[in-house]
Amino acid sequence: MVRKKDKMPLRASTTTLPKSNRSNTPSSSSISITPSPIPQQIDVSNFSSFRARTPLRVTIIGAGVAGLCAAIGLTLTGHTVTVYESVSSIKEVGAGIQVAPNAARILDRFGVLEEVVRDGIALERNSLRRWEDDGEIGWVGLMPGVGKKYNAPLLVIHRADLQRILLNRAHSLSIKIHTGCPITAISPDFSTPSIKLASGEWVTDTDLVIAADGIKSFVRSEMARRMGVKDETVSTGDAAYRVVIEEERMRGDPKMRALVKGNMGVRWMGPGGHIMAYPVRSHKLYNMVLIHPIRPHQIDTESWTSPGTKSEMLKTYSGWNSMVKQLLSYVPDDQEVIMEWTLNSHAPLKSWREGRFVLIGDACHPMLPYVAQGAANAIEDAGVLSVTLGMISSAEKIDDALRVYEVVRKERGEAIQASARDTQKVLHLKDGREQEERDRRIRESTIAARGGEKKGNPDLWADLRWQEFMWGVDVMKEAAERWSELTSPPPPPPAPTPSGMSSSAHIRIQAT
């Protein structure tokens, strides 16, 4: 059994921004058109010593995971950050969230991983099971192996605990967070970073606005309008119940208590839906996310949440195995209203930035939770912006920082978004030939993994190669390493010499 105090590697490998490429260094006959110094090297594993070359004033809309992480990362590197959040009290729904290694290594640099490890649970494995009879189809090993492989742990934690840890860190850094402060308008001219508060007051003393305003992003819809694109909600066809069951309610039921006391996640796959379940909060709560097709009244609703009832939930899962039904029987009856989330998405945007505005988190890559990467990718956004905004030599170069952010993040974020959609189809197959084939491949890949072999798993969350892409890429390191390449203009065509020979002289911008 893995205990939280067991030593697990927390730090990602040391990376330094490559020194100026010698072959690109201007020779005595070359002309450098920018006098700005070569940017400082950034060692992302020693992030605490990295300081922005030009401290900026940054405004963030939204204090969810994306907004708080961006605020922390940017404040740590020397920028002055102000956050505006519409709700008056920042709290999360009672449910769990997985913190994958790609997020954990960034949370470490932001100084919060130790607390997340303390309050989270390192699952040893995830069991993939059948809906009807609870039979195990396969499983995937998690901690401590994943922690060793990716040099960062994989944890599950109560969302409220993650939110509290991030909020405390933000407060300890004296970040100004204005709650009960919805943003109602932004400057129509995107090149002027200004936002309007509900009071009617305009905030203009800022160099950049980061929109971390979630899946219903108001800034994204304004951006889409400017780009001439319709910003439409796309229904994924799925809805989710999120429940947490107190361990105390399972006393006298050894089978159920074993689930909440164990270090295992369970994924039950069934026709049209699946259930993801694992313990949280020191094994005192059992977290369940129950996915099923949306109901007719939820179609075309932008409301996102709607009240459900325990009886309706029991009816939805009445054909599922006795473990599931037994677990659901422990959901309190007095929890009259069980919230049901419709899972929506948005078509990918042409760009995540416009002038002095940039989107992060669910505002630009809302994704189905089936590869457990929505928040992890929001944390990646925050990590990359913390690197790129630290590299520029003046506020006039903000566009360079946003461009590099977009190059490093957009394609990757959208690929992970697409993989969650693909996984939806795989997890929700009706019993029949396709499902049998899926189960056969899951079995084979489980056996192969035991022998150290990577065989494709149709459940991409459990697929060892896709895990390497999701969990193994260090986006902050990539942003630092590619900075020079992405901000240097291509060399101009060789100038003709009097003799007709091309000159070796070239113009190169060293840093922006």
Ligand X SMILES: Cc1cc2nc3c(=O)[nH]c(=O)nc-3n(C[C@H](O)[C@H](O)[C@H](O)COP(=O)(O)OP(=O)(O)OC[C@H]3O[C@@H](n4cnc5c(N)ncnc54)[C@H](O)[C@@H]3O)c2cc1C
Binding pattern for the stretch 71-90 against ligand X, x by CB under 6 A and - elsewhere: -------------xxxx---
Chain residues 94-153 in contact with ligand X, contact rule CB under 6 A: 97-98
Q: Quote the tokens at residue 191.
A: 């090149």
Rounded Cα–Cα distance for residues 394 and 494 (Å): 30
Considering the rule CB under 6 A, would residue 218 count as an interface residue with ligand X? Answer: yes
Tell the smallest beta-carbon distance from residue 143 to ligand X (Å).
Answer: 15
Name the percent of the chain in helix, strand, coil, to the closest 5.
40, 20, 40
**Identity of the residue, 165 or 480, whose beta carbon is nearer to ligand X in the bound complex:** 165
Rounded Cα–Cα distance for residues 217 and 223 (Å): 10
| The only residue of 341, 352, 461, 471 in contact with ligand X, by rule CB under 6 A | 341
Residues 6+ apart with CB under 8 A from 7: none
The interface region with ligand X, picked from 121-129, 330-338, 370-378, 491-499 by CB under 6 A, is 370-378
Considering the rule CB under 6 A, would residue 376 count as an interface residue with ligand X? Answer: yes
Q: Quote the Cα angle for 274-294-85, to 5°.
A: 95
Considering the rule CB under 6 A, would residue 157 count as an interface residue with ligand X? Answer: no
3-state secondary structure of 227: helix
3-state secondary structure of 244: strand
Is the separation of the CB atoms in 85 and 178 below 8 Å? yes
Sign, Cα dihedral of 109, 112, 118, 119 = negative
How many amino acids of this chain bind ligand X (CB under 6 A)? 32
Q: Euclidean distance between the first and final Cα of the chain, in Å?
A: 50
What is the pairing mode between strands 57-61 and 80-84?
A: parallel
**Identity of the residue, 39 or 67, whose beta carbon is nearer to ligand X in the bound complex:** 67
Tell the smallest beta-carbon distance from residue 116 to ligand X (Å).
Answer: 12
Considering the rule CB under 6 A, would residue 167 count as an interface residue with ligand X? Answer: no
Chain residues 280-299 in contact with ligand X, contact rule CB under 6 A: 289
Considering the rule CB under 6 A, would residue 385 count as an interface residue with ligand X? Answer: no
The interface region with ligand X, picked from 55-63, 324-332, 443-451, 488-496 by CB under 6 A, is 55-63
Considering the rule CB under 6 A, would residue 61 count as an interface residue with ligand X? Answer: yes
Helix (H) or strand (E) holding 153, with range, is none
Residue 274 has a CB neighbour count (10 Å cut-off) of 24
Considering the rule CB under 6 A, would residue 212 count as an interface residue with ligand X? Answer: yes
Tell the smallest beta-carbon distance from residue 367 to ligand X (Å).
Answer: 7
Considering the rule CB under 6 A, would residue 93 count as an interface residue with ligand X? Answer: no
**Identity of the residue, 63 or 260, whose beta carbon is nearer to ligand X in the bound complex:** 63
Considering the rule CB under 6 A, would residue 408 count as an interface residue with ligand X? Answer: no
Chain residues 311-330 in contact with ligand X, contact rule CB under 6 A: none
Tell the smallest beta-carbon distance from residue 360 to ligand X (Å).
Answer: 7
Tell the smallest beta-carbon distance from residue 7 to ligand X (Å).
Answer: 25
Q: Letter for the amino acid at 238?
A: D
| The only residue of 308, 361, 383, 458 in contact with ligand X, by rule CB under 6 A | 361
At CB < 8 A and 24+ separation, what contacts does 466-469 make?
A: 466/371, 466/419, 467/146, 469/415, 469/416
Q: Which residue(s) pair with 268 in the sheet?
A: 129, 275
The interface region with ligand X, picked from 61-69, 262-270, 428-436, 453-461 by CB under 6 A, is 61-69
Tell the smallest beta-carbon distance from residue 305 to ligand X (Å).
Answer: 10
Considering the rule CB under 6 A, would residue 64 count as an interface residue with ligand X? Answer: yes
Residue 168 has a CB neighbour count (10 Å cut-off) of 12
Residue 241 has a CB neighbour count (10 Å cut-off) of 23
Considering the rule CB under 6 A, would residue 374 count as an interface residue with ligand X? Answer: yes
Rounded Cα–Cα distance for residues 2 and 144 (Å): 7
Phi, psi of 396, deg, nearest 5: -65, -20
Tell the smallest beta-carbon distance from residue 255 to ligand X (Å).
Answer: 25
In this structure, what DSSP letter does residue 489 have?
A: P
Active-site residue list: 242
Tell the smallest beta-carbon distance from residue 432 to ligand X (Å).
Answer: 27
Q: Residues in the site for ligand X, rule: CB under 6 A?
A: 61-67, 84-87, 97-98, 182-183, 212-214, 218, 240, 242, 289, 341, 361-362, 369, 372-376, 378
